[in-house]
Structure 1
Amino acid sequence: MALTRSFKETVQARATNDAAFRQALFQEAVQLLLAGEIGAGRSILRDYINATIGFEALAEITQTPPKSLMRMFGPNGNPTVANLFAVINALQNRTGVHLEVRAVTEAA
């Protein structure tokens, strides 16, 4: 039987090697958070962090211990708004992917 990668390993490898995929991953994470899909958004943001700067570098930038950051974006994490936006700001500055918010009127 052939060895296969786990889904997370596949996502990690793709994000490491594909700038467009990394950008889409970051965008999807934030869109999920804004849509109230907190668990999914945290999970994808964790994948993005691991695929880009890692928790050690993020800890240095945000002045937050790496283990605290890992817990915040883990399955039972609950980052404060201040911590969440500090992380998003740090990721934007370090990775060069900048997100913007636009108001969109949904079709009735």
Structure 2
Amino acid sequence: MSLQQSPLLEGDVDTGKIVLRDYINATVGFEGLAEDIGKPSKSLMRMLSDAGNPSATNLFAMISQLQKATGIHLHVRAGREATAYAVAFYDAYLCS
């Protein structure tokens, strides 16, 4: 996937929600995540559905708990090198 084709880096929130939903299902599951962050699992599923619109508080709570549970951490960097790194991470870990 080239830099120009990366939907997450182009602000494609719908794809981002799909990737996050798949990641949750592949790791801790919605029931486990819900228990850990104190939210109903159905609410988390709705937040990441096609029509969902999670608040920043809920989104960061999910990401924070996923980082704790899986040991994979999100890092934000600025610049061209960081963008290339993000594409490589997306391809290697989230598309495989």
- 1:98 is aligned to 2:73: yes
Identity of aligned residues (%): 57
TM-score by length of 1: 0.65
* CA-atom RMSD in angstroms: 1.7
- For the residue of structure 1 that corresponds to 2:34, the secondary structure is helix
| Structure 2 unaligned regions, length at least 5 | 1-6, 82-96
Which residues in structure 2 correspond to 1:10-49 (within 5 Å)?
32=8, 35-49=10-24
Which residues in structure 2 correspond to 1:25-104 (within 5 Å)?
32=8, 35-104=10-79
- Paired AA for residue 56 in structure 1: E
| Larger RCO (CA within 8 A; separation ≥ 6) | 2
- C-alpha separation between the residues in 1 aligned to 2:10 and 2:38? 28
Per-residue deviation at 1:35? 4.0
- C-alpha separation between the residues in 1 aligned to 2:36 and 2:59? 13
Per-residue deviation at 1:105? 4.4
- C-alpha separation between the residues in 1 aligned to 2:30 and 2:45? 7
- C-alpha separation between the residues in 1 aligned to 2:38 and 2:12? 27
Per-residue deviation at 1:75? 1.1
**What whole-Å deviation, never above 9, does each CA across 1:8-59 have from its counterpart, x for those lacking one?**
xxxxxxxxxxxxxxxxxxxxxxx82x64211000011000000000000000
- 4+ residue runs over 4 A deviation: none
